[in-house]
Structure 1
């Protein structure tokens, strides 16, 4: 019996990769054992020597670091994302962020790229309104994606669960979750103006140069594989500016 390919993938990819990998296995007979988590913490596990054939990161920093240190042999951008506000409150995105009475939940910078992208958003908003970015950094509450942050129950979407349990009034996270949240009437996703939003680049890091790994990379990049990502709300690979 052949071993299953060990894949580490950012948690935000779970909804897209679960059906994608199932279909890949049906087509090729190649089994894949996926583990999901914050990409920064997954990179630490790779660097500590845990077996991983392919790493699907929510940013380019971690794959590029693995490439620079010789742990990865190739990197490849495979999809894009943006940020969105999730809330039960009314108002547009800037009203929500500038309301000092609202608690802002985020992922954890350093451990989770979603947190890093959120801090990059704060930097852009500092240019929009001097002082705003710094205020948001001080108000932001890293609730998930860290070593000792909240443990979201399996099957729950972090943003909705956080809001319903009163840990925050607004959560800044990935825009692709809007598709999964669209049927939940008590939760609304509020888009951030495109000129202020962040482009979130997802990259693969190839750690094992086997035919099976290359077949999986090729499938993820194929029209069929990309359809699973866009169906889950990710932006097409061809949408980069």
Structure 2
């Protein structure tokens, strides 16, 4: 007599993750590690944090929100839609220069102010990267009076906005904008250095001088309607294993214990 078939194990429902586009590579690696450890898959959507926040406030289903700033997850908390925001990663803004364009930390501001140089940024309010770029412009005012207005007026908001054209599939959007000639300099997260070095070695990265430097604090929150698996994913992102993955992608990982 044939043995009765054994019931199959229930398939875990995917956790819904909304996350900043700058986190794509790191969080896809984290999601894979999380699924390998727990058996719980992750369904991730990446984009400009401000646009994702707006979608969640309008009622789009979501469980975990990983933003490139603290303000957007805090806005969800103030709206009564999520718990408190927790700092889980840090980044900073760098200048990326098209091939053939050279600068030093001492000459960068003058180059950005040059009317012939196309200066690319992301879109403020929609994408924190754009807000951080405009914070650089504000700091430039103390270095050279009039710089803030000049930089804000010439900045080309090429990414992060609802109407901005994305890069072709698989290409880094900032490298694409530089290679296409849409920008000569792009202010973007320093964590773009690895993918740009692989795709377009001719693009140079320059860290901003101390008087212009702007850091980025990334915030994590769990939506009120999240499943227990959603809470588990959020805790995993704060774990040593996930923080080590973030560090491999060049993020500063505040939850990673220091050596020694």
Same fold (TM over 0.5): yes
1:109-154 CA-to-partner distances (Å, cap 9, x unmatched) read 1111100111111111112211111110001000011011122112
Distance 2:59 2:226 in 1: 17
Residue 45 of structure 1: SS of its match in structure 2? helix
The corresponding residue for 1:74 is 84
2:3 is aligned to none
Residue aligning to 1:63: 73
User: CA–CA distance in 2 between the matches of 1:74 and 1:2?
Assistant: 26
**How far, CA to CA, are the matches of 2:207 and 2:178 in structure 1?**
17
The 8 Å contact of residues 143 and 211 in structure 2, kept in 1 or not, is answered as: no
Query: CA–CA distance in 2 between the matches of 1:84 and 1:73?
Result: 31
TM-score between the two structures when normalised by the length of structure 1: 0.95
Match of 1:152 in 2: 167
The ranges of structure 1 where at least 4 consecutive aligned residues each deviate by more than 4 angstroms after the TM superposition are none
In the alignment, structure 1 residue 230 sits paired with structure 2 residue 247 = yes
Out of 202, 213, 233, which is 1:197 matched to? Answer: 213
Quote how far apart the aligned CAs of 1:47 are.
1.1
Measured in 2, the distance between the counterparts of 1:20 and 1:214 equals 15
Whether the 8 Å contact between 2:132 and 2:214 is mirrored in structure 1 is yes
Counterparts of 1:209 and 1:74, CA distance in 2: 14
* CA-to-aligned-CA distance 1:27-74 (integer Å, 9 cap, x gap): 001111000011111011101111100000001111111101100123
* Residue of structure 1 equivalent to 2:38: 28
Q: Secondary structure at the match of 2:85?
A: strand
Per-residue CA deviation, residues 201-236 of structure 1 (Å, 9 max, x unaligned), is 100121045331222122111111011111111112
The Cα RMSD (Å) is 1.5
**What's 1:6 paired with?**
16
Say whether the 8 Å CA contact 2:16–2:230 is kept in structure 1: no
Corresponding position of 1:213: 230
Q: Does 1:90 align with 2:102?
A: yes
- Once the two structures are overlaid, the 10-residue window that deviates more, 89-98 or 11-20, is 89-98
2:95–2:206 contact (8 Å) kept in structure 1: yes
TM-score, reference length from structure 2: 0.88
Q: Count residues in correspondence.
A: 239
Secondary structure of 1:219's aligned partner: helix
Q: Which ranges of structure 1 fall in alignment gaps of 5 or more residues?
A: none
Q: 2:177 aligns with which of 162, 184, 202?
A: 162
User: Larger C-alpha radius of gyration, 1 or 2?
Assistant: 2
Give 2:123's aligned residue. Answer: 108
Correspondence for 1:126: 141
Unaligned runs of 5+ in 2: 1-10
